[in-house]
C-alpha cells in the first residue's frame, strides 16, 4: 500500500517531473514498505535483496537475534537510499518516521488507567507505529515533486487518515479473519497482551475487560474470555465505523487535489483499505 500511495502522490501533485525526481520517487517508494513480522510462537527471518529501485522479502523461521540483525540491515540500507536523494527536507521528514516508530513501541509497553486516556493512548500509538510511515512517506514524495507547503500538508493528512484506517481494519481482522488469510494466528494481539480498538470499544459494555487489559491478559482464560466479549459487544462494528470515518476524511483530502487519474487512484486506495479481507 505505501509504495503505491507514494507513487500516486507524485503524479497527483500535477507537477512536471524531471527524470531525477521520478527516479528519486521510485527509490522513495521502494524504501517506504513497512516490515512487520507476523506474531506468534515463531519468529521470522526477513531476507532482503535490496537494489536501488526494488526490494523483495521472504519469510523463514529463525531466531530473534537474526530478525533483529535483519531489521538493522534494512534500516541501514534505507538510510543510504534516503541520503542519495540529496534533499535535506525530505531526509528530516522521513527521519520522523523512525522517531515515531520507536516512541510508538515504547507506548505499546504501557497502558492507561481510565478508558478515555486508554483510547487516546491507543490512537497516538497507532499513529506513531503505523500511520506516521504512510503520512510522512507521501508528504516526502510530494516534496520531491516540488509541491508547496499547503499541498504537502494535504497529502500528509491523507496518509495519516489512510494509515489509521489501515491499522484499525488490521485490528478488526485479528478477531474475524482466519489464520490462513492473515498469515499469522488470530487473536495474536490479545496473546501479546495488547488491547486494540475492538477490545477498548467492548469495554463500554463489558467493564470486566478493564482489569484484563491492565494485567495484559496474562491470567489463564483471559484471552479466550476477552475474545468472546469482543464478539458479543459492538466493538467490531464500532472499529469498522471509525476506520470508515478515517477513509472518508482521507478521500476528502484527496478530492482537494487537482483532478487526474492519479488523484482518483488516491481515492480508490481508501476503498481498498476499508474493504480488505487480509
Contacts (Cβ under 8 Å, ≥6 apart) of 24? 85, 87, 144
Q: Which pLDDT belongs to residue 184?
A: 60
Q: Which pLDDT belongs to residue 81?
A: 84
Cβ atoms of 165 and 247 within 8 Å: the answer is: yes
Q: Which pLDDT belongs to residue 98?
A: 87
Mean pLDDT per 10-residue interval, the chain, length 278 residues = 52 44 53 48 36 40 71 82 86 91 89 80 95 94 92 96 97 82 73 94 95 94 96 96 98 94 93 92
Q: What is the pTM of this model?
A: 0.78
Which candidate, 146, 128, 141, 30, places its Cα nearest to that of 77? 30
Q: Which pLDDT belongs to residue 169?
A: 96
Q: Which pLDDT belongs to residue 29?
A: 56
Q: Which pLDDT belongs to residue 5?
A: 57
Q: Which pLDDT belongs to residue 9?
A: 55
Q: How far is CA 117 from the centre of its chain?
A: 21
Fold of 2-275: Farnesyl Diphosphate Synthase (1.10.600)
Q: Which pLDDT belongs to residue 218?
A: 94
Q: Where are the domains of the chain?
A: 2-275
Q: Which pLDDT belongs to residue 129?
A: 94
Q: Which pLDDT belongs to residue 84?
A: 86
Amino acid at each position: 500500500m505505501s509504495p503505491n500511495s507514494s507513487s500516486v502522490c507524485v503524479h497527483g501533485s500535477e507537477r512536471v517531473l524531471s527524470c531525477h525526481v521520478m527516479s528519486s520517487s521510485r527509490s522513495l517508494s521502494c524504501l517506504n514498505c513497512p516490515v512487520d513480522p507476523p506474531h506468534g510462537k515463531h519468529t521470522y527471518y526477513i531476507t532482503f535483496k535490496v537494489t536501488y529501485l526494488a526490494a523483495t522479502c521472504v519469510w523463514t523461521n529463525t531466531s530473534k537475534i537474526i530478525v533483529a540483525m535483519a531489521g538493522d540491515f534494512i534500516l541501514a540500507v534505507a538510510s543510504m537510499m534516503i541520503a542519495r536523494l540529496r534533499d535535506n527536507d525530505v531526509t528530516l521528514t522521513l527521519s520522523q518516521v523512525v522517531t515515531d516508530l520507536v516512541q510508538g513501541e515504547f507506548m505499546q509497553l504501557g497502558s492507561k488507567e481510565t478508558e478515555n486516556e486508554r483510547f487516546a493512548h491507543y490512537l497516538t500509538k497507532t499513529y506513531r507505529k503505523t500511520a506516521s510511515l504512510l503520512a510522512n512517506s507521501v508528504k516526502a514524495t510530494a516534496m520531491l515533486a516540488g509541491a508547496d507547503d499547503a499541498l504537502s500538508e494535504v497529502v500528509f493528512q491523507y496518509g495519516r487518515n489512510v494509515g489509521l484506517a489501515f491499522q484499525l481494519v488490521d485490528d478488526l481482522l485479528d478477531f474475524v479473519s482466519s489464520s490462513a488469510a492473515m498469515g499469522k494466528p488470530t487473536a495474536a494481539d490479545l496473546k501479546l497482551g495488547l488491547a486494540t480498538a475492538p477490545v477498548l470499544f467492548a469495554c463500554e459494555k463489558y467493564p470486566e475487560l478493564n482489569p484484563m487489559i491492565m494485567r495484559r491478559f496474562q491470567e489463564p482464560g483471559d484471552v479466550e474470555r476477552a475474545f468472546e466479549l469482543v464478539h458479543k459487544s459492538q466493538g467490531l462494528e464500532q472499529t469498522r465505523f471509525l476506520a470508515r470515518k478515517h477513509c472518508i476524511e482521507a478521500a476528502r483530502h484527496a478530492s482537494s487535489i487537482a483532478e487526474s487519474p492519479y488523484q482518483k487512484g488516491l481515492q480508490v486506495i481508501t476503498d481498498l483499505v476499508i474493504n480488505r479481507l487480509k
